[in-house]
Amino acid sequence: MKFVTPAVVLVFSPLLLTLLPGDVVAFSDCGGILNEKKGTVRSPGYPLNYPNDAACNWTIIAAVNEIIDMRFSMIDLDGNSFSCPDIVTVFDGDNWQATPIMRFCTLLNKTELDSLSIRSTGNKMYITFTSDYSNTRKGFISQFTAQGRIYFD
């Protein structure tokens, strides 16, 4: 009996190490409908790397007389100025046919993140995230706030 515990550890720890950054664990936070006044949208698994082959979409719905302000505090995606295998897009509406506000597929530094201004014109915002079959990174995290249409910064 005294050998059971070490045997279990030996069997399972390589499996756990394999799964941690991988495909199975992370999908619980992949998309949804959000109608809170404030909330968070982040890549699946964050702050671990996002999985390959992810396809997530979030719809934020504010009150009729509100707009949505979104601030990203981290964007780190697999991509560069030549190719965008993993991509986040924010749309000014509630589906992918709405006007895109902004699209990301690389690493942004703090100055770049701070300079972003992402606001809907209406009370809905739609965010998509897709990753391809290889190379994952930290992903992204953002906070959204529903605000009255007339406001001062």
Which parts of this chain interact with Ca ion (CB under 5 A)?
Answer: 78, 85-86, 131-132, 135
Chain CA centroid to CA 139, Å = 6
Rounded to the nearest whole angstrom, what is the least distance from the CB of residue 107 to Ca ion in the complex?
13
Q: Which amino acid, one-letter code, is at 64?
A: V
Q: Is the peptide bond before 44 cis (omega within 30 degrees of 0)?
A: no
Kindly state the smallest distance separating residue 52's Cβ from Ca ion, in Å.
Answer: 6
Closer Cβ to Ca ion, 78 or 92, answer by number: 78
Confirm if 121 and 71 have CB atoms less than 8 A apart: no
CA 47 to chain CA centroid, Å, is: 10
CB of 132 to Ca ion, least distance (A): 4
Contacts within 8 Å (CB) and 24+ apart, 83-86: 85/131, 85/132, 85/134, 85/135, 86/50, 86/129, 86/130, 86/131, 86/132, 86/135, 86/136, 86/137
* Comparison of 106 and 143: residue with beta carbon closer to Ca ion: 106
Amino acid at 73: S
Q: How far is the CB of 89 from Ca ion (least distance, A)?
A: 15
Query: Which one, 69 or 86, has the nearer CB to Ca ion?
Result: 86
- Nearest residue to Ca ion on Cβ basis: 78
Residue 142 Cβ vs Ca ion, minimum distance, rounded to whole Å:
19
Q: Indicate the residue among 121 and 130 with the shorter CB distance to Ca ion.
A: 130
Q: Which is nearer to Ca ion, 66 or 86 (CB)?
A: 86
